Amino acid sequence: MTTSLNDRIAKLIRETGPIPVSVYMQLCLHDPRQGYYSQGEGLGRDFITAPEISQVFGELIGLWCAHEWRSIGAPDPFRLVELGPGRGVLMADVLRATRAISDFHDAADLTLVEASPALRRAQIDRLKPTELTHINTIEAIPDGPILLIANEFLDCLPVRQFIRDTEQWRERVVGLSDANELVFGLSDTVPALDNTPDNAQQFEMRPSLVAIVDALAQRFANHPGRALFIDYGPADAAPDDTLRAYKNGAQISPLETPGDADLTSDVDFADLKRIALAQGLEIHGPIAQGDFLLALGAAQRAEALIRANPKEAEATADAVHRLVDSASMGVRFQAIAISSPNLPPPAGF
Ligand code: SAH
């Protein structure tokens, strides 16, 4: 019988000591055999994303891409990049919505940043016959003009958590109880931290945001480009303890079934903005997803779909409403654009 990921993580902790939450997250999501994304079967079952709710989401982002391609000077060729395309639904809608814009299509070299072999296969299948290149990291995007999109990508990058223990900061770790069960605890050592919030008892930090912005800054140093990130998280407050796990659409403990549940936490948009501005990049947003999609014409697109297929009128209207409504995804999700300097403002912001 194969050893479960839970037991393999427990063995690692017994041998080397408690591990930071970020390491736990990395193992749960990306263990080559038993990681959540490596297995690739949970998407659509454990959680559902905007492109899977309504085609309108990807269609509007497709038109956004074509528009922004012109604002960066219509370079030919350019890289059309998606980070973490999941089952490829967003990119399929992007390509379909822009099919008639043939100069955009002809110029685009499709490049997908995807860690999971199973999801790579799903993306190739869905996007056939479009040729595409898979790469492992954003740093591997070749030099040249790029347009990049990423929906619900940043939230699954490993997060570190810190808690104030009397006067010292400690890092939250995953260790073992006496009964050999995974439990949260605090590091023995005091982590070296540059910026700590003054009045908080806890905070989260996502080291990979710096790496992502650095990679964009390098790409944008010699060529124009623009990146659009959509994710959930507060627009201006720093997340404190937002690590969550989802399985079969329900929230469970992050320690319950390592590798079989999606692990996620809020994106710190204020931090992302600060890092990008410090690199001399231009920022638009974050703005609420609802406002962004409505500005791009979500209501008109929904009406057109309903006219074309009146039988599905209610389902279409409900799905689009879910994307834009403030009580649903409209405000909890934010859009932010990071651009090379001296471009006109992006559509929708
Ligand atoms: N964007 C999709 C799915 C998001 S799920 C949608 O909107 O439906 C997150 C995706 O990012 C998955 O495809 C996952 O395999 C990929 N991913 C997560 N961490 C990654 C990393 N560090 N490098 C590359 N891909 C990653």
What atom of ligand 1 comes closest to residue 86's alpha carbon? 13
CB 123 within 8 A of CB 114: yes
Q: Tell me: the pLDDT tens digits for 282-302?
A: 999 999 999 999 999 999 999
Mutate to test the pocket of ligand 1, among 53, 59, 113, 114 (most ligand atoms within 8 A of CB): 114
pLDDT in tens, 245-275: 999 989 999 999 999 999 999 999 999 999 9
Please write the tens of the pLDDT for every residue from 86-132.
999 999 999 999 999 999 999 999 999 999 999 999 999 999 999 99
At 238, the pLDDT band (50, 70, 90 cuts) reads: confident
Question: Cα Rg for the chain, rounded, in angstroms?
Answer: 21
| pLDDT > 90? residue 198 | no
Can you tell me the distance from the alpha carbon of 122 to that of 32, in angstroms, rounded to the nearest whole number?
17
Q: Mention every residue, 6+ apart, whose C-beta is less than 8 A from residue 166.
A: none
Ramachandran sector of residue 88 (left: φ over 0; alpha: ψ -120 to 50; beta: rest): left
CA of 188 to the centre of ligand 1 (A): 33
The residue whose CA is least distant from atom 10 of ligand 1 is 84
Closest CA to 48 of 338, 339, 322: 322
What are 27-70's pLDDT values in tens digits?
999 999 999 999 888 888 888 999 999 999 999 999 999 999 99
How many angstroms separate the alpha carbon of residue 86 from the centre of ligand 1? 5
* Contacts (Cβ under 8 Å, ≥6 apart) of 74: 103, 104, 107
Mutate which of 28, 47, 116, 208 for ligand 1 pocket (most atoms within 8 A of beta carbon):
116
CB 294 within 8 A of CB 184: no
**Measuring from atom 23 of ligand 1, which residue has the nearest CA?**
115
Is pLDDT of 243 > 80?
A: yes
The rounded mean pLDDT for the chain is: 95
The candidate with the shortest Cα–Cα distance to 349, out of 306, 299, 294, is 294
- The 10 Å CB-count burial string (b at 16+, else e) for 141-177 is beeebbbbbbbbbbbbbbbbbbbeeeeebbbbbbbbe
